[in-house]
């Protein structure tokens, strides 16, 4: 699996996760929408940790300048 996310992209996703979690736990977003946003946040967190986004592969996008060897 090759990295396809830059550190800037990963940090941006982590900030989005922090915002989504804050919105959920402060009660600003509740119900089904809250659960959906938590799921999106979990996906963003996972992709940020591993540095690989499957959707980027489907669309041929890579924000990573340095390609890591497999």
Each residue's pLDDT expressed in tens, for the chain with a length of 70 residues: 788 999 999 999 999 999 999 999 999 999 999 999 999 999 999 999 999 999 999 999 888 886 555 5
20 domain-assigned? yes
Sign of CA dihedral 11, 15, 20, 26: positive
Residue 58 burial (CB < 10 Å; 0-12/13-18/19+)?
A: exposed
| pLDDT score, position 13 | 95
| pLDDT score, position 27 | 95
67 domain-assigned? no
Range of the domain at 33: 7-59
41 domain-assigned? yes
Q: What does pTM read for this prediction? A: 0.83
The H-or-E segment that residue 39 falls in is helix 31-50
Cα atoms in the Cβ-side hemisphere of radius 13 Å centred on 16 = 18
């Amino acid at each position: 699996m090759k990295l396809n996310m830059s550190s800037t992209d990963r940090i941006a996703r982590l900030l989005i996760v922090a915002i989504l979690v804050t919105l959920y736990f402060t009660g600003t977003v509740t119900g089904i929408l809250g659960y959906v946003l938590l799921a999106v946040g979990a996906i963003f967190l996972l992709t940020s940790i591993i540095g690989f986004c499957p959707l980027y592969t489907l669309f041929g996008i890579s924000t990573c300048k340095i390609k890591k060897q497999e």
